[in-house]
Structure 1
Amino acid sequence: MELIRITHENLEKEHICCAIANNKDCQVLSKKAWLEGRLDEGLVFLKGNVRGKCFIEYIPAECAWAPVAADGYMYIDCLWVSGQFKGHGYSTLLLDECIRDSKEKGKKGLVILSSRKKMGFLADYKFLNYKGFETADTASPYFELMYLPFDKDAEKPCFRSSVKDTIQQDMGSGFTLYYTSQCPFTAKYVPLLEDAAKRRNAPFQAVHITTREQAQNAPVPFTTFGLFYHDEFITHEIQSEKKFEKILTERGF
């Protein structure tokens, strides 16, 4: 499989792999705008030459939209191979290219979010473990910060204090959703969740993280989507309207 790197020159025409074909879709427009702002910060979006989910996205950890302390590392936002592309070694192909590129750039290693239990939007723990990644730090309720050091003496990365101190933070009453435009799906689903909460008279505030500084001081490891009810963390998985309505019902709305 040929690998294509997204650049300012080909960003508009290339398919960005997240199951959305229409370049005029609000999700595609949102994601590409976010990508365009990150390319000059060292972000790499590398995809197979296919119209499907077969890509890796990574960025120097100092510029990552995540509350991690991992200076000198490369942070992997997303490694996604699914559907007909699974089982052909493409995940290894993409990861190997990330490793090669990161070593060439003098990085200490790679960092990525995972969980012991296989969950949507988080990297597969078993695959990473097989590839030599180790757990550097953990955060409630199930997040694991995994790393692959290129030098055995490299300093171990960790979550920032904003994640560890979540229980001491006042999220306010009702639902609070933290999200970024790193994933295209938030452009579609966040407004749907806001409307669903409004119909049920459920207090709901959506906090759109729009800067790297905000993301690096966020109270949840996965800044793409983090849903709380009062001070209780509910999920990092982007919710459909139907799934969110079930959550509303479970909490009496």
Structure 2
Amino acid sequence: MEFIQVTKDNLEKEHICCAISNNMDVQVTSKKSWLSERFDEGLVFLKSEERGKCFIEYIPAEYAWNPIDAEGYMYIDCLWVAGSFKGHGYASELLNYCIEDSKQKGKKGLCILSCAKKKPFLSDPKFLKYKGFGPCDEADNGVQLWYLPFEKEAEPPKFMENARHPHIDEKGYVLFYTYQCPYNAKYVPVLENLAKEKDIKFKAVHIKSREEAQNAPTPITTYALFCDGEYVTNEQMNDKRFLKLISK
């Protein structure tokens, strides 16, 4: 498999969204805009030369849009291999590239979000364990921080206190999200319109800076839905899923 590193120079022409073929789709343009501002911070986006779900995205942890204390580590935003790409060792190839690149850049190790059992949009803990990762911190909602230290004495990363106990003092549905995930530009307005139509109290909080993300009340900032102050899910909602949720 040949891989392509997406950079500022080729960002506009490269296909970066695993599910959307139209480069002018608002979901893709919003993601590309977010990426373009991260490259100078050391973000690496490596993908298959073929279109599909086969890529890794990582960044020095101090620039991660997550409330983690992981100085000297590299944070993996996303490692995703699915569909016809599964079963060929591509996930290992992408991860190995990240490991070698991070070592050359003098990093202490890698860290990534996961959980004890596989959840949507979080890395598979079985794969991480197989590759030598282990959990080093856990929030009250079960989201875990996993790490792969390059040296045994490396201090483990941890969640910031504001993310350790996901809770907000606000009634109704509150959604925290970023444009790091390419689907939000389309589906957040869907929920806003549906909530208005059904007279449901709903507020969307668009996280627009690293500082806002690192002070968020949740380990997951790409998409985190709360209801009456309590964390509900990081699984992206369309109209049908949201209606099913509120019917409960």
- Aligned runs of 1:69-218 on 2, under 5 Å? 69-167=69-167, 169-170=168-169, 172-218=170-216
Q: Structure 1: which amino acid aligns with 2:54?
A: C
Cα deviation digits, residues 1-31 of structure 1 (max 9, x gap): 1111011110000010421100110100000
Query: Counterparts of 2:29 and 2:203 in 1: how far apart (Å)?
Result: 23
For the 8 Å contact 2:166–2:231, the answer to whether it is kept is: no
Q: Structure 2: which amino acid aligns with 1:32?
A: K
For the 8 Å contact 2:74–2:102, the answer to whether it is kept is: yes
Query: Counterparts of 1:139 and 1:165 in 2: how far apart (Å)?
Result: 6
Query: Counterparts of 2:200 and 2:75 in 1: how far apart (Å)?
Result: 36
Normalising to structure 1: TM-score of the pair? 0.96
- 1:123 aligned counterpart, secondary structure: coil
Aligned residue for 2:49?
49
Query: Counterparts of 1:92 and 1:67 in 2: how far apart (Å)?
Result: 27
Query: Counterparts of 2:3 and 2:43 in 1: how far apart (Å)?
Result: 16
Q: Structure 2: which amino acid aligns with 1:220?
A: T
Aligned residue for 2:66?
66
Query: Counterparts of 1:240 and 1:88 in 2: how far apart (Å)?
Result: 32
Aligned residues: 248
Aligned CA-pair RMSD? 0.8
Q: Which runs of 5+ in 1 are unaligned?
A: none
Q: Structure 2: which amino acid aligns with 1:114?
A: S
Query: Counterparts of 1:92 and 1:19 in 2: how far apart (Å)?
Result: 22
Query: Counterparts of 1:3 and 1:85 in 2: how far apart (Å)?
Result: 13
For the 8 Å contact 1:4–1:49, the answer to whether it is kept is: yes
Structure 1 stretches of at least 4 aligned residues deviating more than 6 Å after TM superposition: none
Q: Structure 2: which amino acid aligns with 1:213?
A: E
- 2:29 aligned counterpart, secondary structure: helix
